[in-house]
Amino acid sequence: MDVHSRDYRARARQIIEETPEVREAVNAATQTFVDNRQKAFADLDGTALSRWAERVKSHALSHLADYLEEAEARLVERGAHVHWAETASDVHQIFECIVREQGVKKAVKAKSMLSEEIGLNPFLESCGVEVFETDLGEYIIQLLGEPPSHIVGPSIHKSLDDTRVIFHERLGTPRDASPERLAEAARDLLRDAFLTADLGISGGNFLVAETGSIALIENEGNIRLSTSVPRIHIALVGIEKVLPKWADLPTFLQVTAKSATGQPVGCFVSMIQGPGGSPGDEPDGPEELHVVLVDNGRSRLLADPEAWEALRCVRCGACLNICPVYRQTGGHAYGYVYSGPIGGILGPGLVGLEETLPLPFASSACGACADVCPVRIPIPDLLHVWRQRAVERGLTSDVERSVLGLLTSTATRPRLFGWAEKAAGLLPAPVLRHLPMLREWSAGREPPRLEGPTFRELWDEGIE
Amino acid sequence: MRVSLFVTCLGDRFFADAAADAVRLLRSLDVDVDFPKNQTCCGQPAWNAGHIPQAREMAAHTAAVFADSDYVVLPSGSCAAMLRCTYPRLLEAPVVAERSYELAEFLVDVLEITELGSGLEGRRLAYHHGCHALRELEVEEQPVRLLESAGAKIVPWEMDQECCGFGGLFAVKAPEVSIAMADRKLDTLPDVETVVSADGGCLLQLEGRARRRGVPIPFRPLASLLWEARSGRA
Ligand code: SF4
């Protein structure tokens, strides 16, 4: 996927000013997620759980190569093909080979952020493959030609009425169709796709090294169909998704579902460890299973001693839901597949800092995300690491550097500082309004009142 | 007991009266207040924006100014959090970190005061929790308890712990988002006569937006309300 983060401010402004309904839809949906998450953790020791999850993930990441090889060996034993892809174009090549060799014309696809990250759909379409997103939310935005706006709820920025309109136009449902009617229309169309597709594509929430199992969480049943009905299944799994032991999985499934939607677990959890008829216990399933282990910047981030912790992320979206910055715009403002707080620490790590600026700055540093992350990623600290680096590499504005330089040199000269505080009160309002930064302030806010004595002056006069 | 007041740069310029109220309040509780004249800015704006050498310079300056203070009391949650939680990352052995307190926190946790007086009888207030006071200092109950024990009703506000959108330079780097965040706060405000907060940045943000929108509610610093609680003088 192309990255358009540079336009963050302009896009955010556009969303806020021109499509207030997006802000409303995102606010309402994230609030529901937040409330449900809170209820789901109400009777649990969330801190103990997240400490445990943090430990397991950090351990897995620090022995990543070993666990990946273990998972590969188990999968191969059961007849799966395992591919290693370093970059997005490696993934494309792997798909191209399979699609060509097997004459694939139609693919059904389960929701996968990694597939968005590597721009899979446009690539497959360029190979002549018709791709059907089968998650309802993904299907809606596929009809609209939009990228996902949220890790868990890709069409979170759309209201029910938006969906009615697009379904009316594209699928001929009544303009006032009930949600059930809309789901039925999508189901009818997708059922046909499931039955006629030659390829099913999925991501993977977790990959268990010990057993070579790919675990997938969902609510709609579409992932189970996508991965079991078509002749071929390709699972795209980021290399950071590995868990050491089978016994680790149940708790991770619960913690992820609770953090994401507040559900005890997802409605469906699929475990995939080989193609149909593979040795052992897999009577059903596709004839061929391909597992593509994708790096795409992850090893580089893992080697970064200050920023690697972002790789613990299980993509639950809790940090987006709680983020007051994300909630004003939804994900599209960020111009990168991962938005919100996690986007600000994954983007620079996976793609590069320069390419994803100003995402680490698209945060008021309120710290709410750190409270909800189920794997205890210190998100505010990592955002700050990338901010420091942006400054060190000269990627921030000259105005900002001058203003802060001026503040520093004044603040280390107390007499000058006291004088400056006093003098600021003498500046006429129209002048103030045009100073850099105050201009941005004044566009939607009254400037602070500057009249009256400073505290220093009051102190000198004597406080009664 | 002696405390040093760190008025902070915003406090000095924009909330001088409230800082004076903090002095009156502390003196009325038999606390000796001094005001080291060389104090300036804690360095938070530079730190937040990622300018570490500048932040370190200001932190070193501040630590030197308050090197001999038994307690440093700040009428600002986020600057108190800067001293306590961030200085240890910037400076070696910043003794000032352990001695710094936000005003309400100092009153409740150090002076062990539970009641200041009854000067807020019948007042309907909303309390905005600044993010850093809440999440870094973990100051949540203290200001509310002091206001309530003086007779005020703190009206429940669903967004009382959500960020106001100030965030230092964030307010001017992403002004549209910052303003939308302030609007959320204002749009959900319950029926109150005054909104109170321990953070100057938040007050400037919320008040600036409220005035621009013509929302006629005053936004006032906690220190002033606490002095009213004690003195009964509005
Ligand atoms: S960073 Fe944490 S809270 Fe955010 S999506 Fe990842 S796991 Fe969830």
Q: For residue A436, what pLDDT is reported?
A: 75
Beta strands at A213-218 and A268-272: parallel, antiparallel or unpaired: antiparallel
Partners of residue A268 on adjacent β-strands: A218
**pLDDT computed for residue B234 by the predictor:** 66
pTM exceeds 0.90, yes or no? yes
CA distance B217 to chain A (A): 14
Return the pLDDT at A192.
Answer: 94
Q: Cα(A372) to centroid of ligand 1, in Å?
A: 8
pLDDT at position A437 is: 79
Burial of A103 (0-12, 13-18, 19+ CB in 10 A): exposed
B75 has a chain A CB within 8 A of its CB:
no
- Which residue ranges in chain A fall short of pLDDT 70? 1, 278-282, 429-430, 432
Alpha helix positions (H), A197-314: 222-228, 249-260, 298-302
Q: Are B165 and A449 an interchain contact pair (Cβ–Cβ within 8 Å)?
A: no
Q: Which ipTM value was assigned to this complex?
A: 0.96
Long-range pairs, A153-159, Cβ under 8 A, ≥24: A153/A29, A153/A33, A153/A317, A154/A111, A156/A25, A156/A26, A156/A29, A156/A30, A156/A330, A156/A331, A157/A22, A157/A25, A157/A26, A157/A330, A157/A331, A157/A332, A158/A25, A159/A21, A159/A24, A159/A25
What is the CATH code of the structural domain delimited by B124-231?
3.40.50
Q: What is the mean pLDDT of chain B?
A: 96
B2 pLDDT band (50/70/90 cuts)? very high
> Would you call the peptide bond into A358 cis, given omega within 30 degrees of 0 as the criterion?
yes
Q: Are B74 and B101 within 8 A, CB to CB?
A: yes
User: Quick check: CB of A377 below 6 Å from ligand 1?
Assistant: yes
Domains in chain A: ranges and CATH: 5-298 (3.40.50.10420), 403-461 (no CATH)
Identify the residue whose tokens are 């303009």.
A175
- Model pLDDT, residue A150: 97
Pairwise CA distance, residues A11 & B28, whole Å: 52
B136/A contact by beta carbon, under 8 A = yes
User: What is the predicted pLDDT for the residue at A230?
Assistant: 96
Q: What is the band of B90 on the pLDDT scale with cuts at 50, 70, 90? A: very high
Decide if A328 and B181 are in contact by the 8 Å CB cutoff.
yes
Tell me if A207 sits within 8 A of A242, measured CB to CB.
yes
Alpha-carbon distance A414 to A372, whole Å? 41
Question: In chain B, where are the structural domains located?
Answer: 2-110, 124-231
Q: What pLDDT, in 10s, does the model give residues B125-147?
A: 999 999 999 999 999 999 999 99
pLDDT value at residue A448: 87
Report how far apart the first and last C-alpha atoms of chain B are (Å, whole number): 27
How far is ligand 1, taken at its centre, from the CA of residue A458, in Å? 48
Ligand 1 neighbourhood includes A150 CB (under 6 angstroms):
no
Cβ-nearest to B40 among A401, A417, A446: A417
pLDDT per residue as tens digits for the range B25-65: 999 999 999 999 999 999 999 999 999 999 999 999 999 99
Q: CB count, 10 Å around CB of B40?
A: 26
Q: Which helix (H) or strand (E) holds A108?
A: strand A106-109
Name the token pair of A242.
Answer: 């590995």
The Cα B205–Cα B195 span in angstroms is: 12
Give percent of chain B with pLDDT exceeding 90.
97
Question: A213: helix, coil or strand?
Answer: strand
What is the CB-side half-sphere exposure of residue B213 using CA atoms within 13 A? 18
**Chain A residue with minimal CA distance to B203?**
A448
Q: What pLDDT sits at residue A2?
A: 83
Residues paired with A81 in a beta bridge: A290
Question: Above 70 in pLDDT, residue B172?
Answer: yes
| Residues A379/A370, Cβ–Cβ less than 8 Å | yes
Candidates B24, B54, B66, B159: best to mutate against A (most CBs of A within 10 A) is B54
Position A276 scores a pLDDT of 87
